[in-house]
Structure 1
Amino acid sequence: MTTPSRAHSFNAVAAAYAANRPSYPPALLDAVEELAGRPLAGARVADIGAGTGMATSLLHERGARIVAVEPGDGMTEQFRRTLPGVPVVRGDGNSLPLADASADVITYAQAWHWTDPARSVPEAMRVLRPGGALALWWNVADRGVGWIADQTTRIRRFFGDADIVLGAHGTAGRTRELGGLDSADRTVPWTREVPLDTHLANLASHSVFLVAGEKVTREFIDAERAVLKDLFPHGGVREAYVVDLRVALR
């Protein structure tokens, strides 16, 4: 399955994605402001690969003057239901439908790894104003937590690669391709407690499950449910994440 096909696999499950995927802690936006050297309130922000609007919503609440860019039909439709007052335009990070020097901050939440940095870096620099900031971040499952490390092992055994499921795309990987840009990294740990069904639906919303098909997904999810019921008999799962952030300045 090609990267574009995997990237667009989310469109068929946009509502489930919006309902079950984790958002981001307030401390993340505090870190973005610190590393960007400016408040988000009043800033012109472009959120690229906005999906259903999870990050866009937080940026909007922070007071950013925001426009979202999203390539997918299903995700865009869900975005408009969730954030009817926020503009969203069709496009992707390799060819931004935005004017030169029109943004103070460009954000990619869980989206930079779907781009070709040879194209997306120059596009970001074109759209950013002088002194502007490019902020990239990912929720990464905290494998320092025992049960998450064990789940990672089970996923790796089943699919052969846990990273593509659990979001290990961050500053140790694709962001190397920012080249010589002046940048800084930050990690922001956080947790959320969700029902077991939400945790499993979150897993199933990742692209490797979506392209594997319903039968394969159900096989893994059913087996995982049995394991986690023993670990969390009261039905609440405390997920642990580290948000992996990099901010580069123009």
Structure 2
Amino acid sequence: MTAPTHTARAHSFNAAAAQYAANRPSYPPALLDAIEEHTGRPLRGARVADIGAGTGLATALLHARGADVVAVEPGSGMAAELRRTHPAIPLVRGDGNRLPLASASVDLLTYAQSWHWTDPDRSVPEALRVVRPGGAIALWWNTSPADIPWIAEAGARQAAHFGIDVEAGGKPGSHADAADPEGRLGLVPRTLRWSRRVPLATHLANLGSHSLFLVDSEERRTAYLAEEREHLAKVFPDGVVEETYDVDLLIARTAP
């Protein structure tokens, strides 16, 4: 099959925003602890902009920590879901390549699962423009570790289905050299492992909310998920899947 375009995949989430919000994994408290440790300041009271906020999974965690957070989201469907579920959180429409924010206006910029949808030639200077001197920039992804046998096997099935290289253990741009090819940000990597236990139906709905599946034909997507259900029912006969994730965190502080 012809590989879907980057743009088609980026826009695919808007039609599945409710599915995304209901089934995607969030992030562990240790992630926010690591951000506070690296930046040397608490999130409480910090001015934070969450870029490519989607349905607000990370935004809500930052808000709960006491951050003065604003969500920035380009997609109409994702923004509508964020407004519906988190009406108290300010939201502005925009993307990481052209931030609708004043220069030196935030203490922390965050990009949860979103940096790889940006163009670093544009998003890097924009991030540096918006964050204040001595502030910080944090990018992170939930990735699926290939050292877990059932996850590696599932990744191989996806690669065969799509006819492309779908790595079980990574997201495009989740490593510093890919995220910031010119090294302007000085990103420092950290990895945090965590897991959640969810019903098999939730796991499959989570899987189906990923862009490669969203841009696939309904017939192919339905057939794949039915076969995946059969595979995983053998691995998890009680119907509860333990999803294991590595959060790949890249974080940098700007010069005072």
Shorter-chain TM band: over 0.9
Where does residue 24 of structure 2 map in the other structure? 21
Unpaired segments ≥5 residues, structure 2: none
Q: Which amino acid aligns with 1:232?
A: F
Pick the aligned partner of 2:138 from 117, 129, 135: 135
Would you say the 8 A contact 1:141–1:166 is kept in 2? yes
1:67 aligns with 2:35: no
Where does residue 171 of structure 2 map in the other structure? 168
Alpha-carbon separation, structure 2, partners of 1:20 and 1:167: 20
Q: Which amino acid aligns with 2:34?
A: A
Per mean C-alpha deviation after superposition, the further-off stretch among 134-143 and 36-45 is: 36-45
1:37 aligns with 2:65: no
Where does residue 204 of structure 1 map in the other structure? 208
Q: Percent identity?
A: 59
1:188 aligns with 2:192: yes
Q: Measured at CA, do residues 126 and 172 of structure 1 come closer, stay the same or move farther in structure 2, by a change above 3 Å?
A: closer
Q: Which amino acid aligns with 1:96?
A: L
Q: Measured at CA, do residues 216 and 24 of structure 1 come closer, stay the same or move farther in structure 2, by a change above 3 Å?
A: same
Q: Measured at CA, do residues 165 and 217 of structure 1 come closer, stay the same or move farther in structure 2, by a change above 3 Å?
A: farther
State the 1:160 CA deviation.
2.5
Where does residue 58 of structure 2 map in the other structure? 55
Where does residue 98 of structure 2 map in the other structure? 95
Pick the aligned partner of 2:225 from 221, 225, 228: 221
Deviations 1:164-197 (A, max 9, x none): 7875231266324261333311101000000000
Where does residue 104 of structure 1 map in the other structure? 107
Would you say the 8 A contact 1:164–1:208 is kept in 2? no
Q: Which amino acid aligns with 2:245?
A: Y
Q: Measured at CA, do residues 124 and 13 of structure 1 come closer, stay the same or move farther in structure 2, by a change above 3 Å?
A: same
Would you say the 8 A contact 1:49–1:111 is kept in 2? yes
Alpha-carbon separation, structure 2, partners of 1:85 and 1:165: 36
Would you say the 8 A contact 2:156–2:168 is kept in 1? no
Per mean C-alpha deviation after superposition, the further-off stretch among 164-173 and 99-108 is: 164-173
Q: Aligned Cα RMSD in Å?
A: 1.5
Q: Measured at CA, do residues 166 and 72 of structure 1 come closer, stay the same or move farther in structure 2, by a change above 3 Å?
A: farther
Alpha-carbon separation, structure 1, partners of 2:10 and 2:100: 19
Q: Which amino acid aligns with 2:201?
A: D
1:118 aligns with 2:92: no
Unpaired segments ≥5 residues, structure 1: none
Q: Measured at CA, do residues 143 and 137 of structure 1 come closer, stay the same or move farther in structure 2, by a change above 3 Å?
A: same
Alpha-carbon separation, structure 2, partners of 1:236 and 1:63: 33
Q: Which amino acid aligns with 2:195?
A: T
State the 1:87 CA deviation.
0.4
> How many pairs are equivalent?
250
Alpha-carbon separation, structure 2, partners of 1:178 and 1:192: 36
Q: TM-score, normalised on structure 1?
A: 0.96
Q: TM-score, normalised on structure 2?
A: 0.94
